[in-house]
Structure 1
């Protein structure tokens, strides 16, 4: 039976705003994915047992050849975002300057702090904090720190893509450049969210909020003095999303149909991360980020299995992902919302004001400002959750469930043969 015929057997389609999802009956051997929102509201695809998603390549504004030529002709002031050689040199320069200062300054100008340290090391040490328990506050040097790690994430992303992700994709038989590119994006997402999820757990384990002890979000507010690991974790999250926005705004990736939506959601993400950092809500911010990063890592992993067509492995990966998603994205976020509505008013009375000098930003209206975006995120999660459950039940119980709202797209014959694992 031809590949196209197998796609039509026992399938039904759901037409979303940006792409077509094709879900197959349990007897089908082709792949499946379902769009699921990420921590910041974008949608990425997750596999379901014995289903397949027929990918529709997003519309491009230029051919691959023309786009590559455009990239090669870009100014060096922009090309560093996608050229790991340039970004590596930019990362190396502050390190060399820092090392030279450490070697020479003690003899030339002893006692002067290294001016290059804030570029990649934390700044804002609280002067009277204990040596065995150092604390950090916000600092204007945080902007320099963010800039350095925007370059860092650019280097890591492109270096992984060129040296690991693309060779791995080709090893598993992927040939189309669009598929290889998507495989690389998901490999990077998997590594990033896995690392940040684990790091978020480590940070929370050192805080009184462990494990989602929500009352501690508000006890002792304002939490303006941060443990060094919490501050670094927050700023690294901030730098990651700035880098993602740069790639889109500067047109350093082939434009997609949902370009405007992606730019918009990155702006919203940056606003949420920056706002919570500014108003000293880093405890609850850590809890929210971890509840999103951990399921996103399982989602990206299941998509990688989907691309390489390890059909049995992807079923188990989906089951694990579904459980993780249910717990983190729903139960824990409901718990956080309950805390915002019922426990936030218990903050100290003197902090219920907007006072920049005192570091308090909790007038009465702030409770609604915190609650509303988290509540909307929860509703979006429930919408996609119910959608996933309905499709799962329908595909498992119906041998034929066709939806003719769109036509099949021929993906070509250069994909690998199916693999079992």
Structure 2
């Protein structure tokens, strides 16, 4: 076996997925605990009022630090330990953008909008990882029903809430409340950092669209009679088959020797 701690085995995939499912479930609960009494959770305009003199309480600080630490760990494990899937570079880009966004948003005190981005993304990731666990368990009928729920959550959070609620507010609400003369198109106007932040947010949206296309392709294949699978694993599925075939062949060889 080669690659990671245990090679490209089903056990390793399940272990990776179960770990991420556990973390994202914890992170969503932690995030809600951190901001459930904050006005910006229900009124996004509050993300920009009184900026930059917005107090960061201990709960939000703890939540942000844990998330930053997690994504650094995720980036590190993605590079050195996790199974290399077909969207390896897209995932590296995603983790890099996320870390950069967290760093910038914390540095310029855009933490309020940062918490909304984190919670909405982590919430969807719970469904992603749980769907993978169902698939690894071989519960194909359950997976088909759950895939519908997952797609609703994915589209609702990644393609509706994120662009039309969060990014929309960044583009149209933030300038008016922070500095009325601020123009996104005037690239020489200070401050420059919010433009970088917006660029990173749009970069995440591009990745969301890319993964949505993959998900739609999976759905189309399923409708045509195929099984629901993870398009990201197309590049490493052969290795699993080879390992299973090799194990099966070895087992048959041992049995034939005993019979002789």
Normalising by the residue count of structure 2, what TM-score does the alignment of the two structures yield?
0.74
Partner of 2:16: 185
Partner of 1:303: 132
Cα distance 1:218–1:184, how it changes in 2: closer, same or farther (>3 A)?
A: same
Partner of 2:176: 346
Cα distance 1:278–1:289, how it changes in 2: closer, same or farther (>3 A)?
A: same
Shift of 1:67: 7.5
Cα distance 1:316–1:239, how it changes in 2: closer, same or farther (>3 A)?
A: same
Shift of 1:311: 1.6
Partner of 1:373: 200
Q: How does 1:308-327 map to 2 (within 5 A)?
A: 308-327=137-156
Distance 2:193 2:217 in 1: 37
Distance 1:181 1:232 in 2: 30
Deviations 1:282-312 (CA, angstroms, capped at 9, x unpaired): 1000000111100101110010011110122
Shift of 1:265: 4.6
Aligned counterpart for 2:61 among listed residues 224, 227, 231:
231
Distance 2:93 2:210 in 1: 20
Partner of 2:38: 207
Cα distance 1:188–1:67, how it changes in 2: closer, same or farther (>3 A)?
A: closer
Shift of 1:385: 1.9
Which consecutive residues of structure 1, in runs of 5 or more, have no partner in the other structure? 1-62, 69-165, 167-175, 353-361, 401-405, 416-421
Normalising by the residue count of structure 1, what TM-score does the alignment of the two structures yield?
0.48
Higher fraction of strand: 1
Higher fraction of helix: 2
Distance 1:237 1:217 in 2: 19
Alignment of 1:196 onto 2:52: no
Partner of 2:258: none
8 Å CA contact 2:131–2:146 kept in 1: the answer is yes
Deviations 1:187-241 (CA, angstroms, capped at 9, x unpaired): 0000001111122223332211123x22111011115421211110001111112
Deviations 1:32-65 (CA, angstroms, capped at 9, x unpaired): xxxxxxxxxxxxxxxxxxxxxxxxxxxxxxx44x
Cα distance 1:254–1:187, how it changes in 2: closer, same or farther (>3 A)?
A: closer
Alignment of 1:288 onto 2:98: no
- CA-based RMSD: 3.4
Cα distance 1:243–1:223, how it changes in 2: closer, same or farther (>3 A)?
A: farther
Cα distance 1:208–1:272, how it changes in 2: closer, same or farther (>3 A)?
A: same
Cα distance 1:389–1:203, how it changes in 2: closer, same or farther (>3 A)?
A: same
Q: How does 1:109-148 map to 2 (within 5 A)?
A: none
| Number of residue-to-residue matches in the alignment | 228
Which consecutive residues of structure 2, in runs of 5 or more, have no partner in the other structure? 183-188, 227-234, 249-260
8 Å CA contact 1:341–1:367 kept in 2: the answer is no
